[in-house]
Structure 1
Amino acid sequence: MSDYVRLEPIRMKIDAKYTEKWLQGIIANDPSVLGLGDVELLSKERRQPRAGRLDLLLADSEGRRRYEVELQLGAVDETHIVRTIEYWNIEKKRYPQYDHCAVIIAEEINARFLNVISLFNGHIPLIAMQVQAIKVKDAVTVVFTKVLDENIRAPLDEEDLQQATIDPTKWEKNYPLEIIGIMKQIHANIIRKIDSKCELNYTKHYVGITINKIANNFVLFKPKKKSLEFQVALPQIQQYDSWVESTGFDTLPYDNWFKNYRFLIRPADVDGKPEKLDQLRELVQAAYSEKVG
């Protein structure tokens, strides 16, 4: 078979050519290889007060989340877990204005330590990944596999969201009528045609949705001075990526924390062509099916 290519796994722990520094450099040059979304490098070998050095500090493109990343060649062990959590805690206390997530990366995470990490995961935002170096002909690539995702906690439960409801006029007097108008068009012509029980729910930080007076934010709105940020709660998969791209609207990076696609809709996008908003219909329907059924 002429098109057959043999993949040769490399044990980095025992191969002096592929060191932790080498692996660190690959991630630093292209943090997207970790699959954490649109993230960038803030620091390598970041010195910790009265501790060691954090291998990598990453941040999402929105500047809201930071990832404290610790690498280990070979199998994960107790010291690696403790060190990762310690550095996460230090950074969290120094910079409480950000969300923080600890990331453990090792060549091997066996069942015993995966169970231990899972216990911490219930209280600490924690991601565990296995990394494998693979030789393909004369090239070497690395593959990162997430074996434990963080335990996502909702920022507000339904009861909290109900208590956060405010008078709609407080929103409407602070933003241009054309921006509020786009929001109301989407609500009336798309959302309510999917489910007539959906009502706008005005809270301090955004406008969400209630169904039978219970909050269910399968979509939400964030009016701005010059545009409307419209968010659709869907997992990031290729099918939805293609749908989002086909709308032609400008987008913001996918929100990995809340799992939302985000659009920026300006009055110029829809003036004289209100039918353009119909291009959002499939995505809104999919989000409704995902969260409501």
Structure 2
Amino acid sequence: MTTSEAQKRRKKEKRIQKEIEQEPELLGLGTMTLKAREKRQINGRLDLQLKGYDDSKTRYEVELQLGKLDNDHLLRCVRYWNYERRKCPQFKHYAVIVAEEIPEYMLEEIVLFKVPIIAIKISIDQSSGKIAAAKRLDLPIYEWAIVENQKCEEIEDITPFDMAYLETKLSEESLRVLNEIYRLAREVNPETEMNITKNYVGFTDCNLYSYMFVRNKNDSLILELVLDESPDIKNKIQEAGLIFKNPGNPYTKHKSKHGHYDIQINIEDINKKEKEIKELIEMAYEEISK
């Protein structure tokens, strides 16, 4: 699979995941509610955790893969399930693997695990990009005993991170600044989308690569431009009259290829330095697109 194909599949997976979040019954497992999305674990990040609507004792750890199911996704699903059932043993846990294609040899591997795994094969409508059908495959279900009278601290993570959420977290001026940054980003790349999370807003290209972020720090916005460290870029930001979040250390390095410059930004900056800000946004977009 080429990089471009993998990026398109990733974007498609996110859309299908969102569809399941909004309507878990699409999986054909009865009435369920969303317990958590993108749940962080020591093993990675669980796509979805669902719970029985009327049965608070049941949890479903869901891993989604479009295309053909592979060993990596299957093992990940089992690890996520194992982590959750060890953390909260008073609940009945099921690992749920969802894929477009589940070969016979993968079903044989699933049986060898001898854990409660539910395998669901989905088909996607090509015109709408939505789930057209979901079929639970015939597999033996190995029930594991639950541990009664044991408590665990569960964290529900079902807050919808959207503009309505931001309106409760940002001031009116900060919202104006954010919308103006989004406008400039769309002028640079019309396919730019805002990825709103609990702690930041990412601006992604059509391949879901984030080329800048906005964070709210002490009632002021920080614009993080994903760029390589360069004296020329640093000078350009200073010449534009923009203020670094940390003047003594304006660049944040990461283990990955790119770091970012952190700039304090307000509505006055947008009004007076729009051209310079747009040029910097364009540089960040071009850098991540290489």
TM-score computed with the length of structure 2 as normaliser: 0.44
